[in-house]
Amino acid sequence: MTEPEQPRTAPPTGRTTKERTGRPAVAGKVSRRGTWARLNPLLRLLILTQLAFNVGFFAVLPFLAEHLGTAIGMAGWMVGFVLGLRTFSQQGLFVVGGALADRYGVRPVVLAGCVLRIAGFAWLGYADEDWSVIASVLLIGFAAALFSPAVESEVARQAVVWEESGGGPRTSVLALFTVAGQAGAFVGPLIGALLLAVDYRVVCLAGAGVFVLVLAGHVRLLPQHIPGRERVAVRGGLGGLLRNRRFLALACAYGAYLLAYNQLYLLLPDEVERATGSQAALAWLFGLSSLLVVAAQLPVTRWAAGRLDLRRSMAGGLLLIAAGFGVVGLARPAEWTGTAGLLPAAGFVVLLTLGQMLVAPAARAWVPDLAVEGRLGLYTGAMSSVSGLIVLVGSAAAGALMDADLPAAVPWLALAAVPVASLLLVPGPVPAVRKKSGALGAASD
């Protein structure tokens, strides 16, 4: 194995292809394989990293709730509390991991995150008391808060460099990153389900083993210093971020999408249970979502790149997501059951996934244009932290609507209104002129 070639050294200018040419970037008829072949070795490594991260993570976490309730004997509220802690320690602390990546570089933060994830999974496999389960789950979450924003911010930065060197729209790179993540999310549970026949401890140790391989690969292949990535002090960036109204608006709009996406785990299971009497069909609907992303993400991104700028891509995706909630909300009064009862749920999954294909790459591609120079990690992490807070509050509200004595369609129609309302938050075009301070339209509209 040899160390990957160094990436191009030109820093991102913060200007999109559309801003330079006056029209959306056109990807051309480039296949997934063709896009992959033209990426620099660092981008390929980071995209494969996302695949491996999700294989290891989703081999373990989908089976955690059942393990805690049956093997450990936790009460239902305690299981929910532990799962919430895992989410908080990950999403809520993304901003910390992003700031550390800006200060110390990608390599040490990713390696530290891998070590913590290995320790967390191994500890979880042997944890048999509440305190040890909680500690191991917090470790698992914080590990992702380190390595995920480091990897995601560097992928976004490299995607801008790739676009500006004539490789194609940055959304193509970010779409490939999304495909890799979804492929891992599809394969991971299959591996976990096979190993679960032996023991959950074996599942946890296998997940740790995946991260051992990731750690070994990154020790060998991830460069000590990535040209063009500045290192800045941890202090001093948060104030500018909080004054960056354009970025905060984007983060809130992205949070509306993420709140909608998380209804796969709240509203959808309830609807599947109502329609069929069990949640067995849920696995098929999750598989449908993952396969749609793997098969259609790049074609959808290529189509959008030739016709839509980032703002229109996000707006179109949010409208598709709203339509998905509307399908179930409008069909709910009919009280269909069986196969017919699953059709609205399947329509919701398809429309939500299509919306995700437009929103997620566009939002990630937008962050480099809004971030202050040298603080892309902080901004990438902050977008996840802000959206995670929105999901926490919004999911609690959705749960309250489900428990309230209201017509069954109300939670679905209320959630349909959220992405529609978030259209008002999607920022306008990014100013093309970089400010002397290095901010890309940071302080004001």
> Within 13 Å of residue 54, how many CA atoms lie on the same side as its CB?
17
Q: Which two tokens stand for residue 94?
A: 């993304």
The confidence band for 21, taking pLDDT boundaries of 50, 70 and 90, is: very low
> How many residues are recorded in the chain?
445
With a CB cutoff of 8 Å and minimum separation 6, the contacts of 15 are 164, 369, 430, 432
CA distance 33 to 61: 31
pLDDT tens digits, one per residue of 296-353: 988 998 898 888 888 999 999 999 999 999 999 999 999 999 999 999 999 999 999 9
CA distance 381 to 35: 26
Q: Which two tokens stand for residue 150?
A: 């480091």
Report which of 361, 343, 355 is spatially closest to residue 415, judged by C-alpha positions: 355
Q: Residues 48, 50, 281, 331: is their CA dihedral positive or negative? A: negative
Q: Average of pLDDT values for 281-307?
A: 86
Return the amino acid letter for 320.
L
Q: Average of pLDDT values for 103-110?
A: 91
pLDDT at position 28, please? 44
> Within 13 Å of residue 304, how many CA atoms lie on the same side as its CB?
29
pTM: 0.75
pLDDT at position 430, please? 56
With a CB cutoff of 8 Å and minimum separation 6, the contacts of 118 are 208, 211, 212, 215
pLDDT tens digits, one per residue of 108-154: 999 999 999 999 999 999 998 889 999 999 999 999 999 999 999 88
Report which of 196, 82, 65 is spatially closest to residue 141, judged by C-alpha positions: 82
Instruction: Walk me through the domains of the chain, giving residue ranges and CATH numbers.
Output: 32-231 (1.20.1250.20), 236-445 (1.20.1250.20)
CA distance 384 to 80: 21
